[in-house]
Amino acid sequence: MTDNLFFPYQSLATDLLKYLPEDSGDGSHDLSHIHRVWVNASVIQTVEGGDLEILLAATILHDCVAVEKNSSLRAKASTLSSEKASTILSGLGWSESKVMAVAHAIESHSFSAGLEPLTLEAKILQDSDRLDAIGMVGVARCFYTAGRMGAALYDVTNPTASGREYQDKQFAIEHFQTKLLKLASGFRTNEGERMAAKRHQRLDHFLSAFMAEVSALEY
């Protein structure tokens, strides 16, 4: 049941959720992820402002084209979702200006795309999506995705990757260094940055504890 998950725009949410891909088996980009991004966006919007209806549409449709993390199309995922979202919203009778606002927010939200968000709604969506990649939820998603991709938890012969480049496709914990620990420095709104700082601390604490355990430093 999705009743009231997307208050105060539940009716619109119900309409848009119909256009999402059927279950892809990716629990890191499922309904719970969309809901968490919406909660983040709602919190940031309360402080920063912005059009909440545009944010809802962009949040629900930001991954409406499913592309696996290890796909050669990964860098184009946000563009593909943006194009599909434009078609969906135009078909629902949205104005061109609103369609363009949603499309830009979706296209520029992705870490992989490397595009600059130019509107407040685009900045909020990017911040809201990135918040879900750090903190304890980010830890859970990191190891979940690594398991789906067949990666190991860490390199037992060299847990800290000393003397070599990080290999996050082979070892899950190295994704902290290649991406997760970098995310907090790239937030676009003051409220998003404040929320990210708290979650970044949790990432640091987790990584320190993890390394202490696997290296037997706690004994």
Adjacent-strand bridge partners of 171: 152
> pLDDT by residue (tens digit) across 176-203?
999 999 999 989 999 999 999 999 999 9
Q: Which two tokens stand for residue 173?
A: 């914990």
Residue 84: the pLDDT is 93
Share of the chain above pLDDT 70, in %: 90
Tell me the mean pLDDT in the region 68-90.
81
Give the residue range(s) of CATH 1.10.3210.50 domains in the chain: 1-119, 133-219
What DSSP assignment string belongs to 30-71?
SHHHHHHHHHHHHHHHHHH---HHHHHHHHHHTT-S---TTS
CA distance 27 to 211: 26
The residue among 195, 154, 191 whose CA lies nearest residue 176 is 154
Q: Which two tokens stand for residue 23?
A: 């279950």
State in words which class domain 1-119 has: mainly alpha
Share of the chain above pLDDT 90, in %: 74
pLDDT > 70? residue 68 = no
| Rounded (10°) angle between helices 52-61 and 31-48 | 160
Adjacent-strand bridge partners of 152: 171
Question: What's the number of CA atoms in the CB half-sphere (13 Å) around residue 126?
Answer: 30
DSSP state of 157: T
Tell me the mean pLDDT in the region 21-40.
82
Q: How confident is the model at residue 63 (pLDDT cuts 50, 70, 90)?
A: confident
DSSP state of 87: H
State in words which class domain 133-219 has: mainly alpha
What DSSP assignment string belongs to 96-156?
HHHHHHHHHHHHH--TTTTPPP-SHHHHHHHHHHHHTTSHHHHHHHHHHHHHHTT-BSS-T
Tell me the mean pLDDT in the region 165-180.
96
Tell me the mean pLDDT in the region 76-104.
94
